[in-house]
Amino acid sequence: MTELKKVGVFSVAKIFAVISLILGLIFGIIVLIAGGVVALFSPEAAAAMAGAGIVLVIVMAIGGAISGFIYGAIAAFIYNLAAGWFGGIEVELV
């Protein structure tokens, strides 16, 4: 077994940012579709969703990337501390 003793904080943060960006896009599109369904029943909502829907997708993607980067950096930092105290994760590499 090989032990993962330390991870690069910046590298983990970048990966979390990319994953969160993709998830933000997916969730933004789901919310956009749900808003479109609601807009079918309300003409006022349809006008509001026309512009706000695309902005929402972009904001969710960017917000997801930023929060994912921050979370990834914090998680990597905490992992490095915990691995120093208790030992790292044991992995088997082939």
* Average per-residue pLDDT for the chain: 88
Q: CB of 74 within 8 A of CB of 11?
A: no
The confidence band for 89, taking pLDDT boundaries of 50, 70 and 90, is very high
- How much is the pLDDT for 50? 67
Measure the CA–CA gap between 6 and 68, rounded to whole angstroms: 20
**More confident position, 57 or 18:** 18
Show the CA angle centred on residue 80, arms to residues 82 and 65, nearest 5°: 115
How sure is the predictor about 1, in pLDDT bands with cuts at 50, 70 and 90?
Answer: confident
Q: Please say whether the dihedral angle defined by the alpha carbons of residues 63, 66, 68 and 71, taken in this order, is positive or negative.
A: negative
- CA dihedral of residues 83, 1, 9, 17 (deg, nearest 10): -120
pLDDT digit string, tens, across residues 8-43: 999 999 999 999 999 999 998 888 887 777 667 777
Q: Is 40 in contact with 46 (CB distance < 8 Å)?
A: yes
What's residue 85's pLDDT? 95
Specify the pTM.
0.80
